[in-house]
Structure 1
Amino acid sequence: MSEITPDVVRHLATLARIGLDDEEIERLTGQLGAIVDAVATVGEVATPDVPATSHPIPLGMVTRADVPGETLTPDQARGGAPERDGDFFKVSSILGEEQ
């Protein structure tokens, strides 16, 4: 069983500058105690011959190779724009002022 007591929770709340009432302290005492107990259980089964891992399934390369491919021409890229000004997209001002 963990050593989380209401006094420990009060002390932690003071360090974190969190105001807790008595009901919250009692509830958090049980919750923090359960968390500490769960971590202790994991610590009991962890052995030095088991490497630490951040993911239970080994991950390989998850991105595709960076290979040049076909791209849009400038006219194709601007083709769907509602308004154009020569080679540029025309958009309304975001500040409400015309430039």
Structure 2
Amino acid sequence: MASVAQAKDTPKNAAAASATAASAKTELLDINSASKKELSGLPKIGDVRSDAIIKGRPYRGKDELLSKKIIPEDVYNGIKDLIIAKQKTTEKK
């Protein structure tokens, strides 16, 4: 009977794990506002590359890291699913 109970619990645990992973994916790092420390935490991004990312701001899209030659393509491919380039909205008064 214990194995039947475990089998029933497994899909629930799997669903909970998937929900946690999905919520983690939605929290992308904004390259337009991230700190040097946050950027340095990305794979293959150290102090020098994080400084270059900050210096090149603002970005209209994350792909500008490639077009502006801020980072090489292999590094971009490793972080593109972890980052976003949010745009500032200006309020009209």
* Structure 2 length-normalised TM: 0.29
Which protein has the larger Cα radius of gyration, Structure 1 or Structure 2?
1
Q: Which has the higher contact order (CA 8 A, sep 6+)?
A: 2
* Structure 1 length-normalised TM: 0.28
User: More helix by proportion, 1 or 2?
Assistant: 2
